[in-house]
Structures are given as C-alpha cells and as structure tokens.
C-alpha cells in the first residue's frame, strides 16, 4: 500500500479495461482518472508547475492562472493547494458545476467567461482575459497549456512509456484531441519506437483543431475553437470526428455495464469503435486513452433533462454500437500505413 504526503504523488497508470465484452471489438482502455485530480490532466499540471518552479517563475507572491474547461483547473487547484500557491482558473459556462465546486473547495478562484469568440467558442475570450490580467499585474504566472512544451512532454515521458510497457506489440493508439498535449506526447514517443504504431486522433464535430467548420459543442474536454499551437499533424496518421450524440451513447453504454466515464472518454471510445469497425478484417492490438471518469458529468451527460433540453429526443439505445457520424479521414501528405501491422 503506498503512503504519500502530497496528493500528486499518487497516480495509477497501469489499469486497463477490456472493452471486448461490451462493444464486441478488441480495445483496451487505459484509465487515467485514478488520482486525486480525477483525470489525465494531473500529469501535465505537475510537469508545467515544476518547470515554472525550476525556471524561477514562481515566488510566494505568485498567482497561478490558467484557462481550462475543467479538468486541468481541478488538477492545478490541487497542486496549488498542496504547494501553497494561489490559483485562478478562467473557464466558461460549459464547465461542469462539479468541477467549479471542486476548484473552489480546494481554495482556488474561478472566473466564468460568457462572451463567445470569433469561432463561436469561448477559448479566445478566455485567453484574452488571461492576457489582460497578466498585463495588469506581474504576480500572475500563466502556464499556458496551449503552448507549454511540458503539456506534451509529460505524456512523452510517462503516458506513452506506460502503454509501451504493457503492450509491446501495439498496432494502433486512439487519443482524444483537445490542446493535443496527450496526442503529441504519445505520437512523438511511438514515432521513435521499435515498431510502427498507427496514431489516430479523435476529435469532436464542431471543433476546428484539424480544420473544418466550427459548430456547437456542449461537452467540455475535447475539441478546440482554434488550431492547437502544439499540434504537428505530421505525427498523426488519421483523424476521427465524433458527434456529441455518439459521445453520449458511448458513455451510457459503458455506464450500463458499471463503468462510469466522462465525456472525453466517451468520445474516444466512440471514435475508436468506428475506426475498428472499418478495419475489422485485421487482428490488431488497439489501445485508447480514457482521460476522465464520469462523476463530474452527473448533471450533464447522465442527466435526462439536460439531454432533452440540448439534444431533443436523443435515443440512448444501449444495444447500439456508438460511432461518430463524420467518419475517418487520412491527413493529407501522410502515407497510407494501413498495410502495416
């Protein structure tokens, strides 16, 4: 039994769920929510805070500030409380109530932005607010998860090696795309590995991370209303875009079997199952990364009134295999590696 004195000292990275009995296709789901922050964002938060400490950017008077849709804000709140820093999270109305309450319970301040940016999202407005505060007071230290190399470095050094150790014959890896820190860290690692691994990014319909038209996105976590500065498409083989209705169906199907996961995980699972359905003639070792658990979504994707208000008579048929309706695309300029193992 581990004994710890700081909350970020515990993070279970060896747990996988075999989804074959639930979805009928072989996929191992790497669970990243079993830590005191409740999500994969703990890894990036630790990396970025410790880098700022090493660089002398943080002093006892510093106020950490970050734009977050929820999970990174919770992780930074936990670390700030543990290390004696103040923290201000700049979020928007899509942030789950439970995430906001968690941050406040940990002693952080939460600023909710309600103005939309030019792409119909909140991200640009959140970043503008952060920049204005930093310009007005030099006590603010912005970690900038959107540009900070520690965001992808955490997954290059930790998440990807954990997967490689467990699955030495890995063929395909599915990673959700938000800031693309997890995606870029894992993709860079496996590009250097001893065998080819097909890296499939899973995005949400309405996100402009990989181009396309912006659209309504109500589930926080994945997707961006701007191109992620960390993204290098040369490391990504394919992109699968998933409708939010399919995200919700995947979450509910998992919950009916006792696995309560969050919206980001539902999106990744839905996209992975669609891709696997198109490649079912091949015997593949496939892994998907589950960034979060489901408790923070009890008042949204697991709440019937919320679903009805936003999606109408969405049918949650637990016998239907969820799949993103926009399909899979191969990135231009990338070789077709579908014949590789």
When pLDDT is cut at 50, 70 and 90, the band that residue 341 belongs to is very low
Task: Say if CB 90 and CB 65 are below 8 A apart.
Answer: yes
- Give the model confidence (pLDDT) of 108-132 as tens digits: 999 999 877 766 678 889 999 999 9
> Within 10 Å of residue 314's Cβ, how many Cβ atoms?
15
Q: Where are the beta strands (DSSP E) in the chain?
A: 16-18, 28-31, 63-67, 86-92, 109-113, 140-142, 172-176, 198-204, 238-242, 286-290, 328-330
Rounded Cα distance, 19 and 253, in Å? 11
Give residue 159's pLDDT: 98
Which pTM does this prediction carry? 0.90
The rounded distance, in Å, linking the Cα atoms of 112 and 96 is 11
Q: How confident is the model at residue 215 (pLDDT cuts 50, 70, 90)?
A: confident
Q: Which range has the worst mean pLDDT, 96-100, 132-136, 140-144?
A: 96-100
**DSSP letter at 35?**
B
What whole-number percentage of the chain has pLDDT above 90? 77
Position 321 pLDDT exceeds 80: no
Asked if pLDDT for residue 199 goes beyond 90, the answer is: yes
Q: Are 150 and 137 in contact (CB under 8 A)?
A: no
For residue 86, the SS3 value is strand
Using the predicted structure, report yes or no on whether residue 306 has a pLDDT greater than 70.
Answer: yes
pLDDT greater than 70 at residue 318: no
Domains identified in the chain and CATH numbers: 7-35+149-330 (3.40.50.1100), 41-142 (3.40.50.1100)
Buried b (16+ CB within 10 A) or exposed e, 207-223: bbbbeeebbebbbbbbb
């Amino acid at each position: 039994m581990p004994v710890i004195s700081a909350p970020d000292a515990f993070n279970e990275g060896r747990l996988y769920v075999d989804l074959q009995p639930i979805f009928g296709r072989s996929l191992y789901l790497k669970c990243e929510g079993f830590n005191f922050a409740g999500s994969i964002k703990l890894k990036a938060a630790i990396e970025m805070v410790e880098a700022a400490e090493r660089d002398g950017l943080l002093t006892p008077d510093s106020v950490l500030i970050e734009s977050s849709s929820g999970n990174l804000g919770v992780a930074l709140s936990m670390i700030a409380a543990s290390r004696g820093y103040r923290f201000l999270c700049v979020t928007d109305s899509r942030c789950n109530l439970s995430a906001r309450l968690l941050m406040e319970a940990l002693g952080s301040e939460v600023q909710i932005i309600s103005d939309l940016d030019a792409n119909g999202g909140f991200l640009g407005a959140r970043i503008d607010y952060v920049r204005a505060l930093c310009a007005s007071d030099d006590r603010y230290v912005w970690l900038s998860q959107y540009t900070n190399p520690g965001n992808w470095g955490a997954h290059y050094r930790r998440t990807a090696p954990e997967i490689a150790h467990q699955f030495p014959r890995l063929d395909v890896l599915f990673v959700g795309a938000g800031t693309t820190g997890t995606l870029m860290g894992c993709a860079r690692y496996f590009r250097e590995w001893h065998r080819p691994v097909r890296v499939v990014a899973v995005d949400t319909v309405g996100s402009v991370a990989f181009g396309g038209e912006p659209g309504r996105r109500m589930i926080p976590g994945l997707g961006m209303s701007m191109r992620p500065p960390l993204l290098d498409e040369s490391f990504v083989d394919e992109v699968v875009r998933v409708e939010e209705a399919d995200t919700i169906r995947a979450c509910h199907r998992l919950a009916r079997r006792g696995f309560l996961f969050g919206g980001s995980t539902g999106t990744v699972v839905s996209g992975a199952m669609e891709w696997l359905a198109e490649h079912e003639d091949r015997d593949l070792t496939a892994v998907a990364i589950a960034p979060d658990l489901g408790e923070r979504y009890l008042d949204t994707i697991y709440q019937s009134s919320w679903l009805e208000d936003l999606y109408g008579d969405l049918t949650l048929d637990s016998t239907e295999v969820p799949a993103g309706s926009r399909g899979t695309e191969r990135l231009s300029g990338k070789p077709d590696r579908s014949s590789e193992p």
